[in-house]
């Protein structure tokens, strides 16, 4: 048992400062799998090391996707390591051999959690979800289901279910993204409206959106050029704009 702070310090540098220099990186399997099971930020940080062991050293982790699915909670859009987590999640969900029910469960859970996410996270997660639809066309039934639930209580998706295969995500629809089309931030509403159209074949590049911050979003809005809005259809004549205005004889609009 290590202190939480030490766990974080070790896991932050393990994947690039330790594993590449070990003769047998597989010796770290037990440490990383235990860290992955702790939960919270420690599990997120353990993903980097686990990815290397799975990708390069044939580590088998039967419940890996189940655990990854259960890491998705409301805090995932607010944590310090959000960019790292979604970068790796994007890699883990890139395989075309993943079953449709699993990808649909991730899409549905991310969409449900997006209802309480800040705008900077939404501008990243909506293209992320669109990319999942491009890779896994079988999941598009979530969008092309006009007879979806009338309200949340009728949604067959079971948010509390820990097993993705039992969540009934494929029976549901993405009413959450439709709700975001009425978001107060115009960029979010515009991004969510993309699902109303036929998606292009080329994936969106989300690398520049992973670390988007509230400050950058605000700064972008402030730097927008103001558009002059015409307030009068006809040019003003006289002080009150009336024809034969008696005030026009005594006052001028210079």
Query: Helices in the chain by DSSP H: which ranges?
Result: 4-13, 29-36, 40-56, 64-70, 82-92, 100-113, 119-135, 175-180, 186-192, 214-222
Site of tokens 């292009």: 200
Per-position pLDDT tens, the chain of length 254: 778 888 888 888 888 888 888 888 888 888 888 888 887 778 888 888 888 888 788 777 778 888 888 888 888 888 888 888 888 888 888 887 888 999 999 999 999 999 999 888 898 899 999 999 988 888 888 887 766 555 666 788 888 888 988 998 888 888 888 889 999 888 899 989 988 888 888 888 877 777 777 778 788 777 877 777 776 666 666 566 666 667 667 776 66
Please enumerate, as own/partner, the contacts of 94-99 that have beta carbons within 8 Å and a separation of 24 or more. 94/135, 96/135, 96/136, 98/65, 98/136
* 75 vs 209: CA distance, rounded Å: 18
pLDDT of residue 234: 64
pLDDT of residue 201: 81
Q: Which residues contact 236 (CB under 8 A, 6 or more apart)?
A: 253
pLDDT of residue 237: 60
By C-alpha distance, which of 69, 112, 86 is closest to 206?
A: 86
pLDDT of residue 112: 92
pTM: 0.75
pLDDT of residue 103: 92
By C-alpha distance, which of 51, 43, 128 is closest to 79?
A: 43
């Amino acid at each position: 048992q290590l202190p939480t702070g030490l766990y974080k310090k070790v896991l932050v540098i393990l994947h690039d400062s330790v594993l590449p220099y070990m003769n047998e990186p597989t010796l770290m399997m037990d440490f990383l799998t235990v860290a992955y099971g702790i939960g919270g930020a420690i599990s997120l940080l353990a993903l980097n090391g686990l990815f290397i062991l799975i990708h390069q050293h044939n580590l088998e982790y039967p419940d890996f996707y189940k655990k990854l699915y259960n890491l998705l909670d409301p805090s995932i859009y607010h944590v310090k390591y959000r960019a790292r987590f979604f970068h790796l999640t994007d890699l883990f969900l890139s395989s075309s051999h993943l079953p449709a029910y699993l990808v649909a469960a991730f899409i549905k859970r991310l969409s449900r959690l997006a209802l309480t996410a800040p705008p900077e996270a939404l501008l990243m997660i909506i293209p992320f979800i669109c990319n999942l639809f491009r890779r896994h066309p079988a999941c598009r039934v979530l969008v092309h289901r006009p007879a979806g639930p009338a309200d949340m209580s009728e949604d067959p998706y079971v948010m509390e279910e820990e097993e993705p295969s039992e969540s009934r995500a494929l029976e549901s629809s993405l009413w959450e993204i439709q709700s975001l089309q009425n978001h107060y931030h115009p960029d979010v509403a515009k991004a969510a409206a993309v699902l109303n159209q036929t998606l292009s074949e080329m994936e969106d590049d989300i690398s520049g959106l992973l670390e988007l911050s509230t400050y950058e979003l605000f700064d972008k809005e402030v730097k927008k050029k103001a558009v002059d809005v015409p307030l009068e259809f006809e040019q003003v004549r006289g002080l009150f704009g009336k024809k034969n205005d008696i005030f026009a004889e005594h006052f001028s609009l210079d």
